[in-house]
Amino acid sequence: MKVSIGNDHAGTKHKFKITEYLEKKKFKIKNHGTNKEESVDYPDFIHPVAEDVATGQSDFGIIICGSGNGASMSANKHKGIRSALCWNNEICKLAREHNDANILSLPARYVTIKEAFEMIETFIQTPFEGGRHQIRVEKINK
């Protein structure tokens, strides 16, 4: 499975640990994030992740910034992207089941690495339910 990951300066530490975690599970990682903790503009590192997912170059994306909001807003500007800002496992599960989220946005300042790992596992393993949710998802893109 291919995963694109992007982060700003607030998400660098999380990104390194998440990348290591996924590589141990034999995921192929495409790193679009900064490797530094000096201030950067998050859209520069998030748009490439969204493009990878939208074009099928990656199976899903993980984006990380301080609150997760700016990253998710940037990703959601791309057609076909459904980035979900998740701060707990239940929200993450519903984002996959009901919204067919294809990018997980993590708020580095508000979730621990352990919580991030749990959400990543949930995101990967939870299928989209389809059915009544499919109609709603189809109405997202304008």
Residues with active-site annotation? 98
Distance of CA 19 to the CA centre of its chain: 13
C-alpha–C-alpha distance, residues 108 and 49, integer Å: 17
C-alpha–C-alpha distance, residues 137 and 82, integer Å: 9
Contact 45, 11 (CB under 8 A): no
- The SS3 assignment for 133 reads helix
